[in-house]
Structure 1
Amino acid sequence: MARFAHTVTVAALDRGWFEEAADALVDLLDASREGPDGAVVLADGRAVDGLRLLKGRHLRPGARYGEVPAAPGTAATPTEAADGSARASGAGDSAAAPSSVVLRAWRPSHSVEMESLVVEDGLSLKVGLRLSGPRRPRAVELSLSGHQPGGGSLYRFSGRAKADLAAWWAAVDRLPSAPPAARAPVAGRAVHRLAKARLTLTPRPAEDGSWRIAVVLSVRGRWLLRPVGAVVLLFARGPLERGLREAAESAAAEWNTALAELTPLHGEALRAEIADALTDPDGAATL
């Protein structure tokens, strides 16, 4: 097994603001309704930008959402045509088109679940997302499976990841001198016929109030290919270490930039700003 690790420093996110923003977003969506041509309309009458209901009842299990269709006089893309046909005919979920999401559960006090099936460049990709405690997020779970039709087992892969937000907040609430959490709050696994990989994120507070996040990637070969994998990793170790470091630093830089642009609004001001971001993302100010 090969193990790669890198630590990045990121700005801390205020838990109270994050949970208030999540609650406001859920409230806005829970009060929304279906408008003309499948538009998703907020309580104030404004439509959510770039989103429409393609099939089913709004916020009910099985509802399918996708992008807004082309303007009148503009030829529809194959995706839009497929979406329109699915809505008109009530086709099953197996006919899912790219850029569409199926809502599996909408229970604001308990959980939200959704699923997407995308076929692009000959690759079929199924993604599932589950959010526990949407109003005060407790955990986020992601599942992923993909294959290339007719490509055999070498073209199949799967993965699962979970972010335990309660454990994350507990880890960053420790004293800077305390040891890091024994269990990583964020962990993900990917499986392929030839190899398995595991990625973990473990945060701890820094003296200046920022977060230090340890990123650890473990890779191992499977079955009889383990000796071969060991030889490959011997030559690929440098590029893998560099790739992990660059990816972690890039993600940290994007996170820090995003937080630096945030204006910590609260109450009705925060709710109004989120509504503006949903209906006019290009014109909305930073939260």
Structure 2
Amino acid sequence: MARLRHTITLTSVSRGHVERSLDVAHAVLESLRGEGSQLVAPDGRPVVDIALRSGQHLRPGARYGLVDSEGQTVDAELLAWDRGRETGVRIEVTEPAHLIPEGGRTASARMVSALWLRGAERPERAEVSLDGALRRPDGRRRRLRWFTLSGVLDLGRWWEAVTTGGASPGRPALIVRARHPILRAAVHAGPRPGPDGTWRLDVVVMIRGRGLARPVAAVPLLATRRMQQRALDRALERFAETWRTRVVPELNREPEELHRRLVDHLCTPPGPALPGTEQ
């Protein structure tokens, strides 16, 4: 088993600002109206890169077509929309098999994810699940070509930890688990107050082999431990920088300004960055 550790410093943000921003995001989506497959903002501008394919806007079961940053259309289904209880969405991305110049055919791929926010008005927990696989022509997933991931962020424990100096004994605030036919991994992360009003996030990653592959996987896991540690360190430091420069400024905006920026973002075709978002 490989066990990796790293601690990063995060710019802190208040619980009130986070909850206020989530409330604004809900309000923006609720302000849109459907005209056939087209979603329209209150000022009459059409929403780009989102199409209502079936159902009623923001009613459970509604299906949407979303265009991602690479121009690929993905399918989304609304699972729940209730500010007092929960909101949830299911997203499916498929890549059909196709012929390659050298001959033969690629495998088809399918990835399904679900995102949940429990208690949307005063969120207590966020959950994510992801299931990806390469598929055979009959639809079955290929052996050794699949993975699953699940994660839970306990926001109640997070806020307790950053305000009181540490969460009560028990589960960490963030737990992520991943499974592959050969490997399994777990990520535990917990925050604590840092110097100068920052947060310190302690991250532990555990990777081990599964089943009969466990003794076989142990050797390469140990041999590449330093490489894994460097990759983890770089990834977490990049996350901390993105959090500081891109996420925190948006969370700290006044509700009216954030509302306007979100509507503008939804109604602006891809192109130059909006003022204030340049890096």
TM-score normalised per structure 2: 0.82
Query: Paired residue for 1:4?
Result: 4
CA distance 1:156–1:17, change in 2 (3 Å) = same
Question: C-alpha separation between the residues in 2 aligned to 1:273 and 1:46?
Answer: 14
Query: Paired residue for 1:39?
Result: 38
Residue type at the aligned position of 2:122? R
Equivalences for residues 30-179 of structure 1 within 5 A = 30-35=30-35, 37-67=36-66, 98-120=73-95, 122-150=108-136, 152-175=142-165
Range moving further from structure 2, 110-119 or 253-262: 253-262
Question: C-alpha separation between the residues in 2 aligned to 1:270 and 1:57?
Answer: 26
CA contact (8 A) 2:187 2:204 kept: yes
Question: C-alpha separation between the residues in 2 aligned to 1:264 and 1:152?
Answer: 46
Query: Paired residue for 1:16?
Result: 16
Q: CA deviation at 1:181?
A: 6.2
Residue type at the aligned position of 1:111? E
Q: CA deviation at 1:261?
A: 4.3
CA contact (8 A) 2:17 2:251 kept: no
CA contact (8 A) 2:53 2:64 kept: yes
What secondary structure sits across from 1:153 in the alignment? strand
CA distance 1:191–1:106, change in 2 (3 Å) = same
Structural RMSD (CA): 2.5
- Runs of 4+ deviating beyond 4 Å: 178-182, 259-263
Unaligned runs of 5+ in 1: 69-76, 80-97
What secondary structure sits across from 2:57 in the alignment? coil
Tell me the alpha carbon deviations over residues 155-196 of structure 1, each in whole angstroms, 9 at most, x when there is no partner: 122111111111111111124xx6886531111101112111
Structure (1/2) with the larger strand percentage: 2
Question: C-alpha separation between the residues in 2 aligned to 1:246 and 1:115?
Answer: 30
CA contact (8 A) 2:18 2:251 kept: no
CA distance 1:147–1:259, change in 2 (3 Å) = closer
CA contact (8 A) 1:104 1:115 kept: yes
Tell me the alpha carbon deviations over residues 5-39 of structure 1, each in whole angstroms, 9 at most, x when there is no partner: 1001111122211111111221222232102x522
